[in-house]
Structure 1
Amino acid sequence: MRAAIFLILATLFWAGNFVVGQAAVQSMVPLQLTFWRWALAAVPLLVLAQLVDRPDWKAALRHWPRLLLLSSLGMSAYTLLLYAALQHTSALNASLVTAANPVLIMVLAAVLLRDRPRPLSWLGLGFGLAGVLLVLTAGRLERLLTFSLGAGELLILAAITVWGLYTVLARRVAVPAVTSTAIQATIAAVVLAPVAAATGAGFPSTPAGAWSLAFIVVFPSLGSYLLWNLALKRTAAANAGNCLNLIAVFTAIITVLLGQPVTAAQVCGGVLVIAGVLLTGAGQRPQRPRSSKSTSSPGSEELPRLRVR
């Protein structure tokens, strides 16, 4: 019961990242938001890693080349692309397309790692692809014939592609989850600092921007990671992975509560995407036990097998 509560809260906070992130990019550019998110979250994450993982820091830092690559993909590129997409598309659209990550990762794993999904997983791929296309075209599939997808849709597709690569590569890093996340966040803050300084990406100048940033740092960046990893001490990663579908559900609920319209194409597309994710997960081959002590979370070194992100 406690694990379920932790997972629900974690996915609720991640859904908040889409909604609040869309509000934040009205007053901050994506680079500014990305830099300050990880700069402010890095130290608390390092403290959290020490409390939760109690890692051997020297051993963890021996993996710095892979962690640098993962930070560049998952912390910097993915976050920049996501916030850039939220300047051009709705939070609900972004979350629904992002929900197709498990399907994309299945394809990337099949290509790069030579995983062999079962037929049920390929059926899930079809459902997920249909749902994403329905959302991206607003129910007008003829738009695909003229390649008239908007900038937001193209950016969010680029974002989930980057995240898929991140996840596939991250599966082989033997570093505890919170420790890996903390190191990657620190690397992102350090690498982005000169660029942020050169472009004048200072601290938010408006109260709304500062509050949005505070929410993103405290809840999606810190709270979700802690709750996610606490839950994984009490339940299987596959069970936790299924709960990630709640991100799109919570985003839709928040969107409705804020008075924003939800279209029939978004509802139907979301149902297809979630059905595809469930079929993909059900069709995965059992994974061999790993000797690593690592756990999983979005942004960490290894994530649930059926997904992601």
Structure 2
Amino acid sequence: MRYQAFLFLLLCNLLWAGNFVFGKILINEFSPMWITFLRWLIACSLLFPIAARYENLSYDMMKKILKNSWVILTCMGITGGILFNLFTYSALQFTTPTNGTLVFSLTPAITMIFSFIIWKEKISLVQLSGLIVSFLGVTTLLTGGKLMQVFQMDLNKGDLLMIGADVCWMIYAFLCKMSDRIPPVTAVALSSLIAVVIMIPFLIVQPLPIYQISTMGFNGILYVGFFASVCAFVLWNFSVRTVGTNIANLTVNLIPVYTAMITLLLGGVITGAQLWGGGMVILGLLLTSQKRNDSIEIYVSTPDVDICKSAEKCPYCAN
């Protein structure tokens, strides 16, 4: 069972990497709003039956959950369902899928910083060094290896938009902890439904050019709606329950590796700045994932708070 869980994690992160690759293709035929809307519309149509079947919830029970928790579910729908995807697909208009996933992989480091600021969570010297290395790696990506451009503000707009996506996902992770009493698939289904409803008025001002959609565009929408949303989530859910949150979270670092491999297979090019920056990001993430050592901690009197402690109940806080 444990080996099966690791296999599922490998496949899950591969599906998420494909979301960035297909997103780069889709942005040429759809607006970011339409990609986001269609993605969650497809996902909703499948997640509700899955929740009813595997979480033993009737639709009346789901309506009761929605009535009692509509505020947090709405916030989840806006941050994780709408804004995160709008930032991501907008970023892919200006940057490569490889850069996008590498900047996205900085999310745990950003979350750790905000946890320290808001909840005074302790950070060890090893983790602090990991944060520094990660940010240097992302800076290398943002500037194409020309670090002095940081002071000239001549940066890649797409990579900066991905930092916005990181912040949205971090907020979504905090909301994830607050909603840990809601069954996970049901929480995703309900928050996604809310996101779909909120987006409808905005779609009126940007009609979908149906007759211009290619076969690749149609297949890409099916991919991000079914494989990158429903299938990846179910695989993640099973794996987290089997191997635990900490081990599962480490495998998310495979997303930029998978993306680079897919890009090469499709005839793309990986630059030296991406290799150096990506290597630094992954090294930094490995350091930040290390367990704290009390002998070298930055001391703060407030007790520790683990924002992803409940991810076994709420696994979607990891992508």
Q: Is the 8 A contact 1:131 1:273 kept in 2?
A: yes
Q: Is the 8 A contact 1:46 1:179 kept in 2?
A: yes
Counterparts in 2 of 1:189 and 1:290: CA distance versus 1, 3 Å? closer
Unaligned runs of 5+ in 1: none
Counterparts in 2 of 1:214 and 1:141: CA distance versus 1, 3 Å? same
CA offsets per residue over residues 145-200 of structure 1, 9 Å max, x none?
10011221221111111111221232221222211111111111111112113321
CA offsets per residue over residues 41-72 of structure 1, 9 Å max, x none?
11201112222323452553211101101110
CA-atom RMSD in angstroms:
2.2
Match of 1:235 among 232, 243, 268: 243
Q: Is 1:143 paired with 2:161?
A: no
Q: Is the 8 A contact 1:73 1:163 kept in 2?
A: yes
Counterparts in 2 of 1:293 and 1:268: CA distance versus 1, 3 Å? closer
| Counterpart secondary structure, 2:267 | coil
Match for residue 117 of structure 2?
Answer: 111
Give runs of aligned pairs for residues 198-237 of structure 1, distance below 5 A.
Answer: 198-201=205-208, 205-237=213-245
Q: Distance in 2 between matches of 1:195 and 1:53?
A: 33
Q: Distance in 2 between matches of 1:202 and 1:260?
A: 28
Counterparts in 2 of 1:249 and 1:106: CA distance versus 1, 3 Å? same
Match for residue 41 of structure 1?
Answer: 43
Q: Distance in 2 between matches of 1:219 and 1:98?
A: 19
Match for residue 82 of structure 1?
Answer: 88
Match for residue 60 of structure 1?
Answer: 65
Q: Distance in 2 between matches of 1:18 and 1:137?
A: 21
| Counterpart secondary structure, 1:63 | helix
Match for residue 154 of structure 1?
Answer: 160
After TM superposition, the runs of 4+ consecutive aligned structure 1 residues lying more than 4 A away are 284-294
Match of 2:258 among 218, 232, 250: 250
- Number of residue-to-residue matches in the alignment: 301
Give runs of aligned pairs for residues 125-140 of structure 1, distance below 5 A.
Answer: 125-140=131-146
Match for residue 200 of structure 2?
Answer: 193
Say which structure is richer in helix: 2
One-letter amino acid matched to 2:191: Q
CA offsets per residue over residues 189-233 of structure 1, 9 Å max, x none?
111112113321365732221111011111101110010001112
Q: Distance in 2 between matches of 1:197 and 1:98?
A: 30
Q: Distance in 2 between matches of 1:70 and 1:197?
A: 23
Q: CA deviation at 1:293?
A: 9.0
Match for residue 6 of structure 1?
Answer: 8
Q: Is the 8 A contact 2:253 2:282 kept in 1?
A: yes
| Counterpart secondary structure, 1:198 | coil
Q: Distance in 2 between matches of 1:40 and 1:185?
A: 10
Q: Distance in 2 between matches of 1:288 and 1:259?
A: 41
Q: Is 1:120 paired with 2:126?
A: yes
Question: When the two structures are superposed, what TM-score results if normalisation uses the length of structure 2?
Answer: 0.88
Q: Distance in 2 between matches of 1:289 and 1:33?
A: 29
Q: CA deviation at 1:290?
A: 9.9
Q: CA deviation at 1:296?
A: 3.6
Q: Is 1:274 paired with 2:276?
A: no
Q: Distance in 1 between matches of 2:92 and 2:308?
A: 37
Q: Distance in 2 between matches of 1:37 and 1:201?
A: 14
Q: Is 1:69 paired with 2:75?
A: yes
Q: Is the 8 A contact 2:177 2:307 kept in 1?
A: no
Question: When the two structures are superposed, what TM-score results if normalisation uses the length of structure 1?
Answer: 0.91
